Structure 1
Amino acid sequence: MVGVISRFFTSIVNKYLPDPLVFAILLTIITFVLGITITPHSALDMVNMWGDGFWNLLAFAMQMSLVLVTGHALASSGPVKRGMTALASVAKTPAQGVMLVGFCSAVACVINWGFGLVVGAMFAREVARRIPKSDYRLLIATAYMGFLSWHGGFSASVPLVAATAGNPMEKMVGLIPIADTIFTGYNLFITVGLIILVPLIARMMMPKEHEIVAIDPALLQEEVSVAKKLGPDATWAQKIEESPILAWVVGLLGIVYLGTYFVQKGFNLNVNTVNLMFLTAGILLHKTPMAYVRAVSAAAKGTAGILIQFPFYAGIQIMMEHSGLGGIITNWFVDVATAETFPLMAFFSSALINFAVPSGGGHWVVQGPFVMPAAQALGADMGKAAMAIAYGEAWMNMAQPFWALPALAIAGLGVRDIMGYCVTALLFSGVIFIIGLHFF
């Protein structure tokens, strides 16, 4: 049954899902039209909001580009490639391979979402190289499906922000400690359930051998070594460029800073610390500055989608936030909720808004001012209300190609290659979220 469903959605996606950039432009138009029809703002108001917000994610776009290139460069180093090869060799069949990718990706995303996105896609490629007759599209889709677990893990943006002094909701509802969000029974059920479900659902979506689509062998070719041997006539400049001494200096700086940071703030991973960890480890493992530059150059070509699409989503987010459209959509759900059904209503409203605002932090800004006071007034569980916002965002990522961009860039695939599988995972994972939010 699962295979039939995945094949159905794959056929639908192949016919109707446009390129992610076109998808973002269509969402921009839809948000604009909704803004001038169901809010009191004029067309010029919406245009100004869009333009004012268009560049609001520049810093985040740079962070995500660095997640991609530093993660890719790290994974292309000799020691990491050998480690992934050894782990991939645990699986002996295509079924074992796809289940191993699903499990490792989901666990990695619990540790850190950026780490999981990049390492999951890299590991999927390695499994495809090692196991003949694997379905490459399903392997990459499974790596992205692991992203379902991220908002129950240690880098979950909504519960971490909700527990941080000075966040936008503190004056309204106070701080919500992570003991009431991340470290709860329902979150443990949902997170562990997803770690178990992702490999199983991926195994059930495996196509029959005659249905596997041939993939360009060039996508699975081993990357050319970036190491360079100097000849006897090398200049001083060339020698210093290929000297490991400078790599050691940079590596030492990164290790000392990260060690001090974790001692002072605990194991607080965020996108910046992950990028610094990737960069520090990458330059040390590539051994010389120029070898690392060559590795980054090979990875940078995959950042095009991030650089062009993130500004469109920044414009959409500001239109949703400043026009009040996000609040109106949220209130459609929470106005009909009771204390018992409130988490589910918040979950579904968050999932809908995720099409226009595919960001956990963005959801807290757009939905928090409406969801959290309503939860407080109804006497609903405040921690569960916050996690409902987070879960809805994580869940609907399976139908929103925004976060798939880094994985697709690494894999060399297009969005239509994987989204049919991801939408199938959306349907079945929804059961786990609903049970966790309503019955725990």
Structure 2
Amino acid sequence: MLWRLSKSFQFAADRYIPDSFVFCVILTLLAYVCGLMVSPDKPMGLVVGWYNGLWSMIGFAFQMSFMVVCCGAAAKAPLIERGLAAVARLPRAPWVGMIVLLVFGFVSSLINWAFSTILTPILAMQLSRNVKGMHFPLMIAAGYATMVIGQTWGPSASVYALVATKGHFLESSIGVWTQDQTVYNPVNTTIFFIMVVTVILIGVFTRPPAEEVIAFAPKQEPVPVVEAEEEAGERTFADRMNESRILMLIIGVAGIAVIVDSVVTKGLMKSLDFNFVIFLFLTLNAFLYNTPRRFVAAFKDMMRPAAEVMLQFPFYGGIMGMMTASGLAKVLAGLLIQVATVDTIYLWSFLSACFINLFIPSQGGQWIVQGPILTEAALALKANMPLVFNAFVHGDEATNLIQPLYVIPALALVGMKLKEVWGFMAFICMFWIVIVGTCFLVLPKLMM
């Protein structure tokens, strides 16, 4: 039954969902048209807002692209591939393989979202190669879902980190909230584990017939790592430097020194920011590809998948710029909150965040627009403030399964198009919205 239902979503995706860049351009045009409805006197102002927004994501675009390159190079190293293949050979049945993949995804997402985004699809590739009967597009969609769900119960979510910091921009009205109050309160914890069980059940019981299974199939042959060239004549000083293992060893040892120093001084969990995760893989690559020639060749191999990430992230920044310039996000959030009561504010906070995230796919950026409206309504209704935070974060993360920005790196690594997985992502999103929306109506009355 679940497979038949998921196929209806995927059928629509195959027919109507374009490539991820075209999807982004369509969202840009939609944001512009909607912005004109709110600010009809600002046609050029919206274009300028789009232009300004493009550059707001340049740094993040490079970080995400560099993450794809570093992590992808490490994943394709023979030593890592053999290790992941050994793990992937342990499950003997498709349902066991799916549980292994999803549990790994949830655990890694609680460590760091970038870590999970990259390693989960890499493990999925190995499982698909070693366990017959696993549907690879569903594996990628469900694995990606574990990452976004993990952000709702992890301390690295932007809103939770922000409101726990003294001096944040809403401190004068709502104060400072520690993460034991926001992240780990009973309602949010219950919802997180309900969703963990839900996604695992969807992954296990959405089973295609044998003739419809799609296994992982590389779209192109991997570029072989350049080995040191053997020359008949005398080897020059330049040749010896290009093939020097000592140079890469120096870089690797320096990287280890930085990593150890950070963990000792700040602790492991506080060290695991975005840049640190990328640096871990950069350091690992210095040992996996132990000459400059091999190191550079491995990175060149991953430049092509990173190109889509580098291109599309600034365009989503442009959408954010238009939403801010038009004031559309504030208008939409305000309209939804106006109908809220003390019993329904959590549901409306969740649904409004779901919608606005389609156009502002940055939790921090969305909170700047929506946070003042939600907290003002919560104060007026004397609602539970941490649950408003939770509802916002769940809404922001839920429609990451429809708005494809953060799945682009995973798709780039495995060589898939958005339409191949979007239907399964939307299928899981439907369950998330229905279940979590119901939870935010019922659980606050029972548990708080």
Are residues 79 and 187 of structure 1, via their aligned partners in 2, closer, same or farther at CA, if it must alter by over 3 Å? farther
Q: Deviations over 1:86-123 (max 9, x none)?
A: 21112112332233222212221121111111001111
Change (3 A) 1:227 1:155: farther
Cα pair 1:35 1:41 within 8 Å, conserved:
no
- Provide the residue aligned with 2:161 in structure 1: 160
CA displacement at 1:425 relative to structure 2: 0.8
Asked if structure 2 preserves the Cα contact closer than 8 Å seen for 1:251 and 1:281, the reply is yes
Pair 1:93 & 2:96 matched: no
SS at match of 1:355: coil
Separation in structure 1 between the aligned mates of residue 325 and residue 410 of structure 2, nearest angstrom: 31
Question: Is 1:278–2:281 an aligned residue pair?
Answer: yes
SS of structure 2 residue aligned to 1:281? helix
Alignment equivalent of 1:322, drawn from 310, 317, 325 = 325
How has the CA–CA distance of structure 1 residues 82 and 272 changed in structure 2, closer, same or farther, with 3 Å as cutoff? same
**Aligned ranges 1:405-420 → 2 under 5 Å:** 405-420=408-423
3-state SS in 1 of match to 2:162: helix
Find the aligned partners of 1:258 and 1:208 in 2 and give their Cα distance. Answer: 47
The one-letter code matched in structure 1 to 2:202 is I
Answer whether contact 1:189 1:436 (CA < 8 A) is retained: no
| Separation of aligned partners in 2, 1:130 and 1:58 | 39
Give the distance between the partners of 2:236 and 2:3, measured in 1 at CA: 60
RMSD: 2.2
Contact 2:118 2:409 in 1 (8 A): yes
Work out whether residues 191 and 439 of structure 2, in 8 Å CA contact, stay in contact via their aligned partners in 1.
Answer: yes
Q: Does 1:292 align with 2:291?
A: no
Alignment of 1:252-401 (within 5 A): 252-266=253-267, 267-268=269-270, 269-401=272-404
Does the CA contact (< 8 Å) of 2:51 and 2:321 recur in 1?
no
Which residue is 1:81 aligned to? 81
The gaps in structure 2 that reach 5 residues or longer are none
Deviates further, 5-14 or 25-34: 25-34
Report the residue type matching 1:298 in the other structure: D
Using the TM superposition, give the Cα deviation of residue 310 of structure 1 relative to its aligned residue in structure 2, in angstroms. 1.4
Q: 1:125 touches 1:411 (CA, 8 Å); kept in 2?
A: yes
Superposed displacement of residue 76, structure 1 = 1.9
Q: For residue 69 of structure 2, what is the aligned residue in structure 1?
A: 69
Q: Which moved more, 1:111-120 or 1:386-395?
A: 386-395
Query: Residue 11 of structure 2 contacts residue 423 of structure 2 at CA under 8 Å; is this kept in 1?
Result: yes
Task: Tell me which amino acid in the other structure corresponds to 1:430.
Answer: I
Check whether the contact 1:104–1:120 (CA below 8 A) recurs between aligned residues.
Answer: yes
- Maintained 8 Å contact 2:19/2:418: yes
1:181-260 equivalences under 5 Å are: 181-213=182-214, 217-219=217-219, 224-225=224-225, 228=228, 233-260=234-261
Q: Mean Cα displacement is larger for which, 89-98 or 267-276? A: 89-98
Q: Once the 2 structures are TM-superposed, how far is the Cα of residue 366 of structure 1 from its aligned partner?
A: 2.1
- Aligned-pair identity in percent equals 31
| Corresponding residue number in structure 2 for 1:120 | 120
- Does 228-237 or 111-120 show the bigger shift? 228-237
Per-residue CA deviations over 1:322-362 (Å, capped at 9, x if unaligned) read 32211111112211112232122111101001111112222
Structure 2 CA distance for aligned equivalents of residues 19 and 323 of structure 1: 27
CA distance in 2, matches of 1:403, 1:297: 22
Q: Distance in 2 between matches of 1:274 and 1:38?
A: 41
Aligned equivalents of 1:97, 1:57: Cα separation in 2: 37
The answer (yes or no) to whether the contact 1:354–1:393 under 8 Å persists in 2 is: yes
Matches of 1:410 and 1:115, distance apart in 2: 13
Which shows bigger deviation, 74-83 or 26-35? 74-83
Q: Determine the structure 1 residue equivalent to 2:170.
A: 169
| 2: CA distance, partners of 1:235 / 1:142 | 52
Structure 1 segments unaligned to the other structure (5+ residues) = none
- Asked if 2 retains the 8 angstrom alpha-carbon contact of 1:227 and 1:286, the reply is no
Q: Whole-Å Cα distance in 2 between the matches of residues 181 and 214 of structure 1?
A: 40
| Partner secondary structure for residue 198 of structure 1 | helix
Distance 1:252 1:65 in 2: 24
Classify the secondary structure of the residue corresponding to 1:418.
helix
Aligned amino acid, residue 409 of structure 2:
P
Matched residue of 1:134: which SS?
Answer: coil
Residue identity matched to 2:294:
A
Summarize deviations over 1:291-333 as a string: whole Å, max 9, x none: 2222211111101221221122111112212322111111122
1:13 maps to a residue whose letter is A
Contact between 1:78 and 1:286, CA under 8 Å: does it hold in 2?
no
AA aligned to 2:17 is: L
Paired amino acid for 2:241: I
Aligned equivalents of 2:39 and 2:174: distance in 1?
Answer: 26
**3-state SS in 1 of match to 2:55:** coil
Q: Secondary structure at the match of 1:55?
A: helix
CA apart distance, 1:220: 8.7
Q: Please give the secondary structure, in 2, of the residue aligned with 1:183.
A: coil
CA gap of 1:226–1:147, structure 2 versus 1, over 3 A, is farther
Alpha-carbon contact 2:218-2:414 (below 8 Å) kept = no
| Amino acid corresponding to residue 199 of structure 1 in structure 2 | I
Shift of 1:7: 0.5
TM-score normalised per structure 2: 0.91
Q: Which has the higher mean CA deviation after the structures are superposed, 145-154 or 430-439?
A: 430-439
Q: Distance in 1 between matches of 2:188 and 2:83?
A: 31
Deviates further, 8-17 or 427-436: 427-436
Provide the secondary structure at the position in 2 that maps to 1:207.
coil
